[in-house]
Amino acid sequence: MLVIVAPGQGSQTAGFLRPWLADSTLAARLEWLGAVAGLDLAHYGTDADDDSIRDTRIAQPLLVATGLVAALELFPRPAEAFPTVGAVTGHSVGEITAAAGARVISAEQAMVLVRERGKAMAEASATTPTGMTAVLGGDRDEVLAAIKEHDLTPANDNGPGQIVAAGTLEQLEAFAAAPPAKAKLRPLSVAGAFHSSHMAPAVEHVTRLSRSVSVHEARTPFISNADGSVVRDGREVLTKIVGQIARPVRWDLCLETMSESGVTGILELPPAGTLTGIAKRYFRGATPPVETFALNEPDQIDEARAFAEKHGAA
Regarding whether 177 and 225 lie in a shared domain, the answer is no
pLDDT at 60: 97
pLDDT at res. 79? 83
Contacts of 175 (CB under 8 A, 6+ apart): 133, 146, 147, 150, 152, 165, 167, 185
Same domain, 242 and 113: yes
Q: Report pLDDT for 80.
A: 81
Mark whether 131 and 264 lie in a shared domain: no
- Predicted local confidence at residue 314, as pLDDT: 54
Same domain, 243 and 142: no
Domain with 142 in it: what CATH number?
3.30.70.250
Which residue segment(s) compose the domain that 120 sits in?
A: 2-125+196-312
- Answer yes or no: do 55 and 73 share one domain: yes
Which of 148, 168, 187 finishes a domain?
A: 187
Is 88 in contact with 223 (CB distance < 8 Å)? Answer: yes
What does the pLDDT read at residue 83? 87
Is 81 in the same domain as 141? no
Taking a C-beta distance cutoff of 8 angstroms, is the pair 86, 2 a contact?
Answer: yes
Whether 215 and 295 map to the same domain: the answer is: yes
Task: Based on the fold, state whether residues 146 and 243 are members of the same structural domain.
Answer: no
Q: 109 with 134, same domain?
A: no
Active-site amino acid positions: 92, 195
For the chain, list residues with pLDDT below 70. 313-314
pTM equals 0.96
92 and 177 in a single domain? The answer is no
Cβ neighbours around 131 below 10 Å, total: 22
Query: What per-residue confidence (pLDDT) applies to 189?
Result: 82
Do 301 and 202 fall into the same domain? yes
**Cβ within 8 Å of residue 80, ≥6 positions away:** none
List, for residues 121-132, the tens digit of each pLDDT value.
Answer: 999 999 999 999
Please report the pLDDT score of residue 160 as a whole number.
85
Q: What CATH number is associated with residue 116?
A: 3.40.366.10
| 57 and 90 belong to one structural domain | yes
Amino acid present at 247: R
Q: How many domains does the chain have?
A: 2
